[in-house]
Amino acid sequence: MKNQAFLEVIRSKRVANRRAVKKRTTAAIYGYDPLESRRLLAVASASGADDFTVVPSDVVETSAAVSVGERSVWDFTPESDLVTVLENKLPSSEVASLLREHLSLAQNDTMWLSRVQTDHLGFEHLEYRQMHRGLPVEHGEFTLHVRNDLIESISGNYVPMVNPVDTPELTHELALESALEFVGADVYAWETDLEDEQFHDGHWDHNPNVQSHGDDSFTGQPQGELVYVSAGDSNSRLTYKFDIFASQPLSRAYIFVDAVSGEIVEVQDRIHNADVAATGTSLYNGTVNFLADSNAGSFRLRQSTDGVETYDLNNGTNYSNATDITSSTTSFTASSVQTGVQAHYGAEQTLKYFQTQHNRDSYDNQGTTLVSYVSYSSNYVNAFWNGSFMTYGDGNGTTYNPLVSLDIVGHEITHGVTEYAAGLVYSYESGALNESFSDIFGEAVENYALGTNDWLMGEDIGVNPGSALRSMSNPSAKGDPDTYLGANWNFTSSDNGGVHTNSGVQNKWFYILTEGESGVNDNGQAYDVTGIGMTDAAAIAYRNLSVYLTTSSQYIDAREGSVQSAIDLFGLNSQQHLSTMAAWDAVGVGGSFEELTVFEGAGTGAGVNRSVVTGDVIGAGFPDTIAVDLDSGQTLSLAVRGSNGLIPDVEVRDPNNVLVGSGTSSNSNLFLPSMSLVESGTYQILIDGTAGSSGD
């Protein structure tokens, strides 16, 4: 295995008049679901919308910013359905001409303002519906996001009209017959005592241009309206849109019937199963509340409001044989369903936690349903995420009960979050970070659901007290390290390079950051860290995971990404920023906190930079030299950290090969502070190393 030396070059910060442009998506900022890929990129004149250039999306392979002279600059990210105005924003009075030119609307196309909403940030969101010859175009919608009377961005979807038919050939009555035949219900809502307004929305009734068809013989029955729908063949179909509400069996959907052929073109479910509020007796948290759905006279652990489904494998391993977990009432109290209730409740709480605390909709941030399977195999003491769903064993009954506690459910689902966020490879340090993030958010979910957490992973599942799998407050109590490369560190290839063991370092970091702590780590370094609380600590950890880390990130990357996340969220030199760095110092990742914050000035190479050199101890990989261009008058500080037992030996020489500073560490961490630079030019940083007793 290669040894690594991590080099942080901390130089004086240069103040630059730079404007950063952050890429955004509709779902993340405004909560709008992204539709199909954007088709247009517009460049608008600052003085009005008469001077426009329209660029087809196939010309733009990646996100881009386009500007022409003094025109507005629009940023385009194809997969996000969002066009953002970067410079020279247009006044909102130009909305009409902007939409027409931006979308290249045909003569018979219009955009009709259907709703205006405001938010707490001072934005007005003007929602427009696409119309063709006065009829709505399904899925054709655009929203202009306006602040201070200036258009900030546009999001939505434009549906090109392809070979549209303007006149229906099928009567309303025949179209309704086709819709009812398709649904095939025994009893419809209008055939019961329900009042019409309980099931008929009058969709688009507020638009005087929409044509509704029918006569007195259809009173109480759905009144179809003509709308355009783009079918699978890309043609724009003229259809009757019916709101069909059936009571036996229960269903409700918009049914789109081709106004020429009678074919069912599209179906949009409206009930999404009948979710109901339910309660149940859980294994570890007493009586809990959750959503279930009504199905065939009973209730089952599924709900589509948020997307959570839980099934029972009945101690088998064939997922196709899994069964629903049911109850005859909305109270799930039978002992046979308590494991399922616990897992279902945990999945709901985890989903709500990520939605409310981090604006993340399911593990993939696309609203994918959380599917769980309980009672996997027999005497199975494990739980796992397989890339698509969660599986939980029942334990062995002697040391561990079913592995469905809140923190374990949160842990497993977070593996899905990590897969779609940083994608941390499940091996060695990146794998340890992967495991640690699951522990972190497992505890965060427990805290969210119960208002408190115990910092013990899996404490509830132990048959006997003290059977927790890991301790985040005191990792060494469970044989895990609390200091990077310190006691209990797994230097072998077992357990994928110690992913479950070496996770203790970031676990301890998160505990210290949240609660605060003083002490001395395995390197003999004293620390005293002020805690910032669960909410802020989790926000920093989540931003690091979802924004800065990548598949092969190491512990030094976790430090740097979380420090930057703290700055992003709370500001430079905020308590959150200072505590984040101090907590990493406490677990032996990175340099001295005080030294890392004192450098000021300007010049070539100002700021903080990091390089990584790898090689064998006393082999071809070392010594190694890193060249850094610096100016006179700056100060240079170096933090060098070796991994796998590498003890660094460092020299710094100026452009004239004069020794500026040097040092040899007695352990894996070396810090050379505040070296004053006299000469401008290229400085050589020579890194050599010897193997410590713990190296491999």
- Which positions are catalytic? 412, 500
Half-sphere exposure of 592 toward its Cβ, with a 13 Å CA cutoff? 14
Residue 398 and residue 379: Cα distance in Å, rounded? 9
Q: Are 90 and 111 in contact (CB under 8 A)?
A: no
Q: Are 567 and 536 in contact (CB under 8 A)?
A: no
Residue 424 and residue 414: Cα distance in Å, rounded? 12
Q: Are 291 and 274 in contact (CB under 8 A)?
A: no
582: CB partners within 8 A, 6+ apart? 527, 528, 529, 530, 593
Residue 667 and residue 72: Cα distance in Å, rounded? 56
Identify the sign of the CA torsion 159, 161, 163, 168: positive
The number of helix segments (H) and strand segments (E) in the chain equals 11, 37
CA 59 from chain centre, in angstroms, equals 29
- The count of other CB atoms within 10 Å of the CB of residue 88 is 17
The residue among 217, 218, 241 whose CA lies nearest residue 228 is: 241
Q: How far apart, in Å, are the Cα atoms of 187 and each of 193, 212, 501?
A: 12, 24, 60
Please give the span between the terminal C-alpha atoms of the chain, in angstroms, as a whole number.
7
Residue 111 and residue 98: Cα distance in Å, rounded? 11
> Treating both helix axes as pointing N-terminal to C-terminal, what angle do 504-515 and 575-586 enclose, rounded to 10 degrees?
140
**Residue 658 is encoded by which pair of tokens?**
């004069």
Please state the length of the chain.
696
Spell out where 448-554 has E strands: 456-457, 470-471, 517-520, 526-529
